[in-house]
Structure 1
Amino acid sequence: MDTQIKDAPPPSPQPTVAEQKRAARGATRPGDRIFLGLSRGSGILLLVIMAAIAVFLTYRASIAISKDEANFFTAFEWNTQLIPPKFGIAVLAFGTIVSSIIAMALAVPIAVAIALFLTHYAPRRLRGPIAYVIDLLAAVPSIVYGLWGALILVPHMNGLYGWLDDYFGWTGIFSWQQGAPRSMLTVGILLAIMILPIITNVSREVFRQVPQMHEEAALALGATRWEVIRMAVIPFGRSGVISASMLGLGRALGETMAVATVLSPSFDIQASLLDPGGGTFAQNIASKFGEASELGRDALIASGLVLFVITLLVNGAARMIIARRKEYSGANA
């Protein structure tokens, strides 16, 4: 036996990482090379398109801002017909951010609750119909939501506004002057209804990917169903829920026709969310673009550039949050 051990060939050295990569490249089939080239080219093309959009918006915005006699970021007026013109985005930025925050605060908890109900509580016979209805809501056009909001939602908001004024009017945020309920709160509620299907569908698919072993292990340790969700399901799907929320936030930030149909716009900031007034970037562009002069269109493009930057910042913040929680992603489970 000693002779056999001595005569055994020495173990071959393990290939290095560089050698493994070279071997993988050498073994790549033509179809894989073609797919790699197409996917890489698509990514580069997307970056080029984004850069072109940014350059176009920046160029046209610089023309308008150079002729603006007011402070573009703090002015509370929008009048490009004056000589010299005066316009600013303070009201638009405030309205866009406030309406989106209201929509997210209402939609995200409800969407996550619906997704958890469909994946862990609902009987099998109810999952299909409820999921189908949610998918159908996601396919409804924005203008239909806007018409529904103007004809159905707005007339029925008086009761809610009165209740908020009676019990929370002392805060100033929910004081109501008995005006038409075409305010930021109504817009936020409508946007919440619009983004609810997107967040629900993505969150539901994320929760369905939770490894069954994680849930069975928690149950074996004596956890209740809610404890399984709290300790196994939600930590696993947290990054997916954040991604779903950012998709919904992107639609809320850029929603146009529904907001334009429901909101009573004005270039002032109301202390109360129940008073008519305010505006958003997308609503202002949609309502003024058709009758705007060349300078007016450049001014609207400048406001679009601000919305573009806000969207990029929101997406970047979402990716940073997800990267910090990558230990919960499905790839690392």
Structure 2
Amino acid sequence: MNSIALPAADHSDDRSSRDVRNDRAFAWIVGTAGVFVLVSLIAAAFSMFWGGRLAFDTFGLKFLWTDVWDPVNQTFGALVPIYGTLVTAFVAMLIAVPVSFGIAMFLTEIAPKWLRGPVGAAIELLAGIPSIIYGMWGLFVLVPVLSEHVYPWVDEHMGTLPLVGRFFSGPPLGLGMGTAGLVLAIMVIPFIASVMREVFLTVPGRLKESAYALGSTRWEVVWDVVLPYTRSAVIGGIFLGLGRALGETMAVTFVLGNAHELTASLLMPGNSIAATIANEFAEADSEMYRSSLIALGFVLFLVTFTVLTIARLMLRQLARKEGN
């Protein structure tokens, strides 16, 4: 029997229709994934808001700036945890950003090739250590060192300075917002340094070689060539580390001191939103108590969302200035 050959146009039409179906299916799948992210975000925010509605209905906006946290009398305010969260994150970034920048510059511009691999691997290993390990190390190693050798000197020499002395005065307990900020800095340094190192490696070698040929020093090349070229990505990495610092729980819980007291001193114990929830959720024995803790979670969500939104706006503004 002689087989009848189909025209070439039929094969082409079948393939085209199949490609169209596959393309639509692919678009539907990835679109569903994108919608899933948005739905998850909205659902998480709504669930925390709904769980904290009793606290918001009872205390109103005063919940955000009241510093009283009294489970016995059922009076709750989020000012101390909010303040502790922001201060510890600020201290962490104040330490982590310059150190991360130095690490990234060393690995990309100064370190010999045989050293770049081990140091880079060490940074990645630091990023993979669980936060509870950092907390235990901070409690059993860092706190005794600071309380015996560092904080007494800080209180004696810096606690008497005008204007800034109140930030460095207090008993050398070792536990406090300064210690929590230091532990957070150690935790976020690997993330920021890794991002900075990767983006610094994207700078074309011809740009740096041209700058060196014109007589620029290494610092001038970094400041005038590398940073302008990677500015947007560097800022994104910094805000990535800030987001990690704002939401950290276990490491901060170990070394912060967990005291609901509003104080300017970095040597004094304080509290944070994540630490308060972790410490007290299991012992919340009333509906108002639980609602206040869930409301704290919603506040933390808003703080983190605001910070990341500001980061996106800054990056968009930089991109517009650069003509992208």
TM-score class normalised by the smaller sequence: 0.7 to 0.9
Deviation digits for residues 8-44 of structure 1, max 9, x if unmatched? xxxxxxxxxxxxxxxxx99976555444332222111
- Which of 163, 177, 183 does residue 176 from structure 2 map onto? 183
- Which of 276, 296, 300 does residue 307 from structure 1 map onto? 300
Q: Which residue number corresponds to residue 246 of structure 1?
A: 239
Matches within 5 A, 1:20-31: none
Q: Say whether 1:291 aligns with 2:283.
A: yes
Q: Which residue number corresponds to residue 279 of structure 1?
A: 271
Q: Say whether 1:121 aligns with 2:113.
A: no
Q: Which residue number corresponds to residue 128 of structure 2?
A: 139
In the TM superposition, residue 65 of structure 1 has moved relative to its aligned partner by 2.3
Q: Which moved more, 1:188-197 or 1:40-49?
A: 40-49
Q: Judging changes above 3 Å, is the alpha-carbon distance between structure 1 residues 199 and 70 closer, same or farther for their aligned structure 2 residues?
A: closer
SS in 2 for 1:291: coil
- Tell me if the contact between 2:175 and 2:256 (Cα under 8 Å) persists in the aligned partners: yes
Distance in 1, matches of 2:195 and 2:98, equals 14
- Which of 28, 49, 52 does residue 58 from structure 1 map onto? 49
Distance in 2, matches of 1:51 and 1:177, equals 43
Q: Which residue number corresponds to residue 98 of structure 2?
A: 109
In the TM superposition, residue 58 of structure 1 has moved relative to its aligned partner by 1.6
In the TM superposition, residue 326 of structure 1 has moved relative to its aligned partner by 1.4
Matches within 5 A, 1:63-74: 63-68=54-59, 71-74=62-65
Matches within 5 A, 1:1-333: 32-68=23-59, 71-82=62-73, 85-158=74-147, 159-170=149-160, 171-275=164-268, 277-293=269-285, 294-326=287-319
The letter for the 2-side match of 1:305 is F
SS in 2 for 1:72: helix
- Tell me if the contact between 1:74 and 1:89 (Cα under 8 Å) persists in the aligned partners: yes
Distance in 2, matches of 1:37 and 1:209, equals 34
SS in 2 for 1:157: helix
Gaps of 5+ in 2: 1-15
Distance in 2, matches of 1:51 and 1:163, equals 48
- Tell me if the contact between 2:123 and 2:194 (Cα under 8 Å) persists in the aligned partners: yes
Tell me how many residue pairs correspond in the alignment. Answer: 304
Distance in 2, matches of 1:232 and 1:30, equals 48
Deviation digits for residues 218-240 of structure 1, max 9, x if unmatched? 22323222222111111111111
SS in 2 for 1:290: coil
- Tell me if the contact between 2:152 and 2:172 (Cα under 8 Å) persists in the aligned partners: no
In the TM superposition, residue 163 of structure 1 has moved relative to its aligned partner by 2.3
SS in 2 for 1:177: coil
In the TM superposition, residue 210 of structure 1 has moved relative to its aligned partner by 1.0
Q: Which moved more, 1:164-173 or 1:242-251?
A: 164-173
Distance in 2, matches of 1:70 and 1:45, equals 31
- Tell me if the contact between 2:159 and 2:165 (Cα under 8 Å) persists in the aligned partners: yes
Deviation digits for residues 167-205 of structure 1, max 9, x if unmatched? 221233344333411011001001000101000001110
In the TM superposition, residue 66 of structure 1 has moved relative to its aligned partner by 1.9
The letter for the 2-side match of 1:167 is H
**CA RMSD across the alignment:** 2.3
Q: Judging changes above 3 Å, is the alpha-carbon distance between structure 1 residues 207 and 69 closer, same or farther for their aligned structure 2 residues?
A: closer
Gaps of 5+ in 1: 1-24
Q: Judging changes above 3 Å, is the alpha-carbon distance between structure 1 residues 70 and 235 closer, same or farther for their aligned structure 2 residues?
A: closer
Q: Which moved more, 1:114-123 or 1:62-71?
A: 62-71
SS in 2 for 1:106: helix
In the TM superposition, residue 57 of structure 1 has moved relative to its aligned partner by 1.5
Q: Which moved more, 1:67-76 or 1:168-177?
A: 67-76
Q: Judging changes above 3 Å, is the alpha-carbon distance between structure 1 residues 203 and 265 closer, same or farther for their aligned structure 2 residues?
A: same
The letter for the 2-side match of 1:308 is F
Q: Which moved more, 1:256-265 or 1:102-111?
A: 256-265
Distance in 1, matches of 2:215 and 2:28, equals 51
Distance in 2, matches of 1:273 and 1:41, equals 47
Give % identity.
41
- Tell me if the contact between 1:256 and 1:282 (Cα under 8 Å) persists in the aligned partners: yes
Distance in 1, matches of 2:202 and 2:17, equals 34
